[in-house]
Amino acid sequence: MENFDFYAPTYFAFGQNKESEVGKLVKQFGGTKVLIHYGGGSVVKSGLLDRVKKALDAERIPYCELGGVMPNPRSGLVYQGIELCKKESIDFILAVGGGSTIDSSKAIAAGVVYDGDFWDFYEGKRIENALPIGTVLTIAAAGSEGSPDSVITKEEGMLKRGASGNAIRPKFSVLNPALTQTLPAYQTACGITDIIAHLYERYLTNTAEVECTDRLIEALIMTMVHEGPRVIENPNNYDARANIMWAGMVAHNNICGVGRSQDWTSHNLEHELSAEYDCAHGAGLAVVMPAVFTYTMSHDVKRFATIARRVWNVEEADDETAAKAGIEALKTYLKGIGMPLTFAELGAKKADIEKLAHTACYGDGSGSGFVYGFTTMSEEDVIKVYNLML
């Protein structure tokens, strides 16, 4: 195991009706004037936004609102949010929604206290300072409620990139699994897929002797394998939703990723797809993961065989056969919860592959020409991987 520092001081309020405590939580973490940031309207329709406002009113905390965050959140609204916060002297940002809303809130929070262009952070500058953020989560998926990360798409060139820093870890996150019961089945499944990807991309490591985090990851994937079909079959299964929601947080606040190198190849290749075709991140990952795993399997067949046996109950004695069977089991599972498995199902085009691979490797010109992770992929490798998704 490698040396590490791990500091993840988010306060979690988990369970039924916990959103009623949001006013007290904002106060506890020093907020005196709040920006409520939300998405395309699901929180208006469900009545959650009104309940959140009531909770702030009860503590006499003033607020402004900024809705309209799109899935795969855009830079344009971030700039608007930064201006609004400055004009209104906002000192706390409350994200009410999914990963997109939380990520947009994080970008605004970092941008308000920064003299330059917030996009600098999405080109590699570490976020050291930000307004405090709280979240009320409505979908178990991205893990942004406990992560130090934010992913934004720059409209100019449709470049989707991530930024990081402990300063944007939420001060608190309200996790009420019942709030996820209004999700369409497809979005629930996209979330489940994203959570599984966050686990696999940590499992695929080049660090030896990491049994503790290996075992945590295996347990969490097994939880998703168990709970996924149950929640697709019965969207009102509170307990299944509760287990998925907590697994989604644990999968991505990096408690499972410390002390080990991590992969992120699938996420990098997927971000090109959701930037180009505006598909759901989880759906993109369902198409990308099996292709990336098949391409990189030979780098460490043993690792793929181990996860196949421990998580997918594969019994083959030969490592390569077991590894392949594990990837097939993952595909069968993803298909079973309603995820796409091919480029065509996603609306992606074969003719775009070279362009997608080029952007994955070079970005808008500043990239190194490689995708680094479990293996190092050249542009030629990336083209081959995208071709496996046809």
For 168, phi then psi, to 5°, come to -100, 10
Considering only residues 159-198, where is the footprint of Zn ion by CB under 5 A?
194
- HSE-up (13 A, CA, CB side) for residue 232: 21
What lies within 8 Å, CB to CB, of 108 at 6+ separation is 35, 37, 78, 81, 82, 85, 93, 118, 131
**150 lies in the binding site for ligand NZQ (CB under 6 A):** yes
Q: What is the spatial distance between Cα 329 and Cα 301, in angstroms, rounded to a whole number?
A: 16
Nearer to Zn ion, 268 or 306 (CB): 268
Interacting span for ligand NZQ (CB under 6 A) from 139-147, 297-305, 315-323, 358-366: 139-147
User: Hey, what are 358's tokens?
Assistant: 């080029």
- Number of residues this chain uses to bind Zn ion (CB under 5 A): 1
Nearer to ligand NZQ, 40 or 76 (CB): 40
- Beta carbon of residue 103, minimum distance to Zn ion (angstroms, whole number): 11
User: No. of H helices and E strands in the chain?
Assistant: 15, 10
- Taking CB under 6 A as the criterion, the residue among 75, 173, 187, 296 binding ligand NZQ is 187
Q: What is the 3-state secondary structure (H, E, C) of 228-279?
A: HHHHHHCCCCHHHHHHHHHHHHHHHCCCCCCCCCCCCHHHHHHHHHHHHHCC
- Taking CB under 6 A as the criterion, the residue among 53, 93, 95, 100 binding ligand NZQ is 100
Identity of the amino acid at 272:
E
- Number of residues this chain uses to bind ligand NZQ (CB under 6 A): 34
- Taking CB under 6 A as the criterion, the residue among 81, 132, 134, 143 binding ligand NZQ is 143
User: CB neighbours (10 Å) of residue 96?
Assistant: 31
- Beta carbon of residue 320, minimum distance to ligand NZQ (angstroms, whole number): 29
Site string for ligand NZQ, 10-49 (x = CB under 6 A): -----------------------------xxxxx------
- Beta carbon of residue 249, minimum distance to ligand NZQ (angstroms, whole number): 11
User: Alpha-carbon Rg of the chain, whole angstroms?
Assistant: 20
**99 lies in the binding site for ligand NZQ (CB under 6 A):** yes
Which residue carries 């996209």 as its tokens? 190
User: Hey, what are 157's tokens?
Assistant: 């060139």
- HSE-up (13 A, CA, CB side) for residue 219: 11
Q: What is the spatial distance between Cα 278 and Cα 269, in angstroms, rounded to a whole number?
A: 14
- Beta carbon of residue 101, minimum distance to ligand NZQ (angstroms, whole number): 6
**227 lies in the binding site for Zn ion (CB under 5 A):** no
Which residues contribute to the site for Zn ion (CB under 5 A)? Answer: 194
Which residues contribute to the site for ligand NZQ (CB under 6 A)? Answer: 39-43, 71-72, 97-101, 103, 138-139, 141-144, 147, 149-151, 179-180, 182-183, 187, 191, 194, 252, 267, 281-282
